[in-house]
Structure 1
Amino acid sequence: MGLSFLLLFPLLFLLHHFYYRLRFRLPPGPRPLPVVGNLYDIKPVRFRCFAEWAQSYGPIISVWFGSTLNVVVSNSELAKEVLKEKDQQLADRHRNRSAARFSRDGQDLIWADYGPHYVKVRKVCTVELFSPKRLEALRPIREDEVTAMVESIYKDSTAPDNLGKSLLVKKYLAAVSFNNITRLAFGKRFMNSEGVIDKQGQEFRAITTNGIKIGASLSMAEHIPWLRWMFPLDEEAFTKHGDRRDRLTREIMEEHTLARQQSGGAKQHFFDALLTLKDKYDLSEDTIIGLLWDMITAGMDTTSISVEWAMAELIKNPRIQEKAQEELDRVIGHERVMTELDFSNLPYLQCVAKEALRLHPPTPLMLPHRANANVKIGGYDIPKGSNVHVNVWAIARDPKVWKSPLEFRPERFLEEDIDMKGHDFRLLPFGAGRRVCPGAQLGINLVTSMIGHLLHHFNWAPPNGMTREEIDMGENPGLVTYMRTPLEAIPTPRLPAHLYKRVAVDM
């Protein structure tokens, strides 16, 4: 009886697949196997795998994750259809059981379906949290953390035991990302200048690490609903994680409420802003907590990932490193440090940041859009309930729209002004349309600032015994593009010693 029941699954899949093929004109793609679909064919680095399949089947392909149809588009014309022309029908989110639990079934921004709740929360982000006025008010925090990074690199690189030795670049970039996002979100610096994390910070980091761990532990049954009864969700683990996250968030909330009562006013960081806006926008506690953790999840790693890739490219291309430093020396000089107010006078530096985000978008497949209705893309049917992925990594390397697409050449953005906040579909590191990242400008500012300070304060070379060509430019599998081999490099100070000291800012 049990065996007969299991043998029913392949038959159900075949009937399901046959029904789709009979009723809809689906995009071409690799032939799926019964039950598992194409899951066993997908290589670990998915965006590269999908780009390879696009070479064989065309710029729009069907890929079956178990019984779920996933459509992947890999050129700018189709991306425009998905993200602009048919955006309203493709603005929902696919939530697996993990995302559903973490987001309280879409009560946040990232995982919410398109509708009144999403529109309201999106307005809070664009009008209130990421407005130009608030970003400018929070600029001292960003600049403080970047100068703290410079001071830390300087201390370590000039220590007697470290002279001429390489440093792990990711360590310093991660510290900036961690402190910046916690200060912007909570108004708290959990890590001191020596890299020591306090008790609350350790709990914060443990929660984020545990969330990734239990989210990644879900089985193939996520893609095969018929098998979920065999792989039940670990309800206890998710409940404990949610309670732990809420407990820390409420603890910080109580601290802020008390501080506001004592000071008589709110500060500019996001937590206080959300408490102030709670009644105005009718925000539930679940939504406030969800929004804060959205910002943490989206901002914790993506900035440091982008800067690490940029520095790898600059070390591999010393001509570009020198050209950017010449601009910094001409505009900033050797008697002060750069600030974000200098960006408008540093066009080549901005192009370096833009080129790094083109070649190495931190989320190369974006988060999948889910069809809330039957829709056509590229002349093919996309049935309601299908997931649609935009391969921004492949689009940014498309030789039909980019000259020498694999070359790291910032000059291309001096020759043509290309927007990267969702208006030009050749370059989509932050997405586009209704679900474009509301914090795009914040990310651009921080990436540009970090690259600028690293280049202004130091010369960068590969480790002793390694040539520039030997730097590993491969990616680790995952939703975001970590470098397969973390970057190591030798920094050599190039400014007077007094310019490496951080002046702490308390906000």
Structure 2
Amino acid sequence: MDLLLLEKSLVALFVAIILAITISKLRGKKFKLPPGPIPVPVFGNWLQVGDDLNHRNLSDLAKKFGEILLLRMGQRNLVVISSPDLAKEVLHTQGVEFGSRTRNVVFDIFTGKGQDMVFTVYGEHWRKMRRIMTVPFFTNKVVQQYRFGWEAEMASVVEDVKNNPDAATTGIVLRKRLQRMMYNNMFRIMFDRRFDSDDDPLYIKLKALNGERSRLAQSFDYNYGDFIPILRPFLRGYLKICKEVKERRLQLFKDYFVDERKKLASTKSMTNEGLKCAIDHILDAQRKGEINEDNVLYIVENINVAAIETTLWSIEWGIAELVNHPEIQQKLRHELDTELGPGHQVTEPDTYKLPYLQAVVKETLRLRMAIPLLVPHMNLKEAKLGGYDVPAESKILVNAWWLANDPAKWKSPQEFRPERFLEEESHVEANGNDFRYLPFGVGRRSCPGIILALPILGISLGRLVQNFELLPPPGQSKIDTSEKGGQFSLHILKHSTIVAKPRSF
């Protein structure tokens, strides 16, 4: 059976080579394509640039080929944008033309071929999903309703760290406790639920399935089958695992959270005034026929992926940089003590009157951007960009990390220096008011989670610095900040052990 499959694949490969050469010649006369490495038939540039299309590798290619470049990865066209002006063109000026999402074989599985909000094409379904998700998740009213919960969760983290004897001596992996905090922050909003312990069986199962989903989706291991469809049969085992994980996750969301909330709603009247958490609003939209049950589950899937881990990565990066820069940590602590008074725990409203805390958050998001290539965009039809023709259904990668770390645009960008946002870059905000700095994107497909992420980051980093002196483990002068990148994610490679010595007030 394997020999027959191999024979068919080789025949298909030969036919594809002939077709690719013919199409290439025809297209060459029609299009003025962006520059890039010379492709070879069938494989394009895949053999030259490899699978690992991370932000740093794409930055190196941009230095060679320019601020707009084309990579032909098998049958897929990837257009890489590395300048603020072109980023503005893609995300704002031509936001409709480039407003769709490209998917791949794995994301098609996890999103039901775009039944969610994040990865659906630009159009009526996206507008409907965005509207339904905005009211219960992404408004100032939500922030004010749930910020007391975020503050309580962080207070619990502080208390648990103080009660852990290892924290002040050999150190602890703080990420583990912060992860439960982030799950509780978002599950309070979604389901009015929280997890009391790391040993909660449901929490363990949920965390494991989300982690496996992230590993499978972010891996570069399946690119060959995505780039070259005739090789897709060799992905059958990988895709089977993806389908199994997807089905188990959606079933868990349904059985333990969505259906439980439905039962609760059936016992009392759920008028608009009685809607208590986000899923109530979303289920109300389902009852009205605006969305179906699958859409409900994919909204839960999006929040589990996009809202929890990305914010957790940023908190973890912020802690690592503060540990490795004790002078910055001390300066932040001085601001907190001076402005709020020793022992007054920072709250969400306080974050707006703490400019250095805001600068630390901004600098963390600049240097260690959680989604350095943003979520990929796509043009459904042929388009013009930077004087070049962009073929229909091209994957558009905006290298937002490079925009924020280009030495031609920023002073000493390799340094972790929050002061830049109080001095030469004082006008720059995380909301995309400057196209050199787009940690949440900008325009129609920007990340609406900015309204939740910024205050949670401020509360988390602020309270840790207020209550502890954060240090590397004994015998180390710094902690390892090596990066681990995925299809478009960036997190710290090794979950750091941190010494947290309690302060006395």
Question: 9, 12, 15: which is aligned to 2:16?
Answer: 9
Structure 1: gaps of 5 or more residues? 497-507
Aligned partners of 1:17 and 1:186: how far apart in 2? Answer: 52
Percent of residue pairs bearing the same amino acid type: 33
Give yes or no for the alignment of 1:494 onto 2:479: no
Give yes or no for the alignment of 1:323 onto 2:331: yes
Aligned partners of 1:19 and 1:386: how far apart in 2? Answer: 18
Structure-2 residue corresponding to 1:442: 452
Q: Which moved more, 1:240-249 or 1:134-143?
A: 240-249
Aligned partners of 2:249 and 2:169: how far apart in 1? Answer: 43
- From the superposition, tell whether residues 27 and 189 of structure 1 become closer, same or farther in structure 2 (CA, over 3 Å): same
Structure-2 residue corresponding to 1:505: none
1:164-202 deviations in Å (ceiling 9; x for gaps): 222223223222222222222222213x24x2223x323
- From the superposition, tell whether residues 269 and 127 of structure 1 become closer, same or farther in structure 2 (CA, over 3 Å): closer
1:397-422 deviations in Å (ceiling 9; x for gaps): 12232222222221222232212123
- From the superposition, tell whether residues 96 and 51 of structure 1 become closer, same or farther in structure 2 (CA, over 3 Å): same
Tell me the secondary structure at the aligned position of residue 63 of structure 1.
Answer: strand
Aligned partners of 2:206 and 2:358: how far apart in 1? Answer: 33
Aligned partners of 1:4 and 1:426: how far apart in 2? Answer: 47
Deviation at 1:388, TM superposition (A): 0.5
Give yes or no for the alignment of 1:138 onto 2:140: no
Tell me the secondary structure at the aligned position of residue 152 of structure 1.
Answer: helix
Equivalent AA in structure 2 for residue 197 of structure 1: D
Structure-2 residue corresponding to 1:203: 205
Q: Does structure 1 conserve the Cα–Cα contact (< 8 Å) formed by 2:405 and 2:414?
A: yes
Give yes or no for the alignment of 1:123 onto 2:131: yes
Aligned partners of 2:500 and 2:391: how far apart in 1? Answer: 53
Q: Which moved more, 1:296-305 or 1:1-10?
A: 1-10
Question: 429, 436, 460: which is aligned to 2:470?
Answer: 460
Task: Give the alignment's TM-score, normalised by structure 2.
Answer: 0.90
Deviation at 1:74, TM superposition (A): 0.9
Deviation at 1:127, TM superposition (A): 3.8
Structure 2: gaps of 5 or more residues? 1-6
Aligned partners of 1:459 and 1:290: how far apart in 2? Answer: 41
Q: Does structure 2 conserve the Cα–Cα contact (< 8 Å) formed by 1:150 and 1:454?
A: yes
Q: Which moved more, 1:436-445 or 1:334-343?
A: 334-343
Q: Which moved more, 1:72-81 or 1:222-231?
A: 222-231
Structure-1 residue corresponding to 2:412: 404
Equivalent AA in structure 2 for residue 77 of structure 1: D
Tell me the secondary structure at the aligned position of residue 492 of structure 1.
Answer: strand
Structure-2 residue corresponding to 1:428: 438
Structure-1 residue corresponding to 2:80: 72
1:120-167 deviations in Å (ceiling 9; x for gaps): 1112223443121122111122112212221222222xx1x5542222
Aligned partners of 1:56 and 1:301: how far apart in 2? Answer: 33
Q: Does structure 2 conserve the Cα–Cα contact (< 8 Å) formed by 1:120 and 1:281?
A: no
Question: 306, 323, 339: which is aligned to 2:314?
Answer: 306
Aligned partners of 2:230 and 2:130: how far apart in 1? Answer: 35
- From the superposition, tell whether residues 151 and 13 of structure 1 become closer, same or farther in structure 2 (CA, over 3 Å): farther
Give yes or no for the alignment of 1:30 onto 2:37: yes
Give yes or no for the alignment of 1:89 onto 2:97: yes
Structure-1 residue corresponding to 2:171: 166
1:205-225 deviations in Å (ceiling 9; x for gaps): 233234335544645111112
Aligned partners of 1:270 and 1:127: how far apart in 2? Answer: 8
1:222-249 deviations in Å (ceiling 9; x for gaps): 1112333554476754554444333322
1:343-386 deviations in Å (ceiling 9; x for gaps): 12211101110111011110101111111121111111111111
Q: Does structure 1 conserve the Cα–Cα contact (< 8 Å) formed by 2:472 and 2:499?
A: yes
Q: Which moved more, 1:347-356 or 1:39-48?
A: 39-48
- From the superposition, tell whether residues 164 and 204 of structure 1 become closer, same or farther in structure 2 (CA, over 3 Å): closer
Aligned partners of 2:167 and 2:415: how far apart in 1? Answer: 33
Aligned partners of 2:365 and 2:461: how far apart in 1? Answer: 12
Structure-2 residue corresponding to 1:226: 230
Question: 186, 203, 211: which is aligned to 2:191?
Answer: 186
Q: Which moved more, 1:473-482 or 1:246-255?
A: 246-255
Question: 379, 389, 404: which is aligned to 1:381?
Answer: 389
Aligned partners of 2:33 and 2:67: how far apart in 1? Answer: 13
Tell me the secondary structure at the aligned position of residue 301 of structure 1.
Answer: helix
Deviation at 1:440, TM superposition (A): 1.1
Give yes or no for the alignment of 1:369 onto 2:377: yes
Aligned partners of 1:380 and 1:371: how far apart in 2? Answer: 14
Equivalent AA in structure 1 for residue 428 of structure 2: I
Aligned partners of 1:281 and 1:477: how far apart in 2? Answer: 40
Aligned partners of 2:168 and 2:138: how far apart in 1? Answer: 41
1:59-91 deviations in Å (ceiling 9; x for gaps): 111112212110001111110011011111111
Structure-2 residue corresponding to 1:341: 349
- From the superposition, tell whether residues 168 and 241 of structure 1 become closer, same or farther in structure 2 (CA, over 3 Å): closer
Q: Does structure 1 conserve the Cα–Cα contact (< 8 Å) formed by 2:168 and 2:499?
A: no
Count of residue correspondences:
488
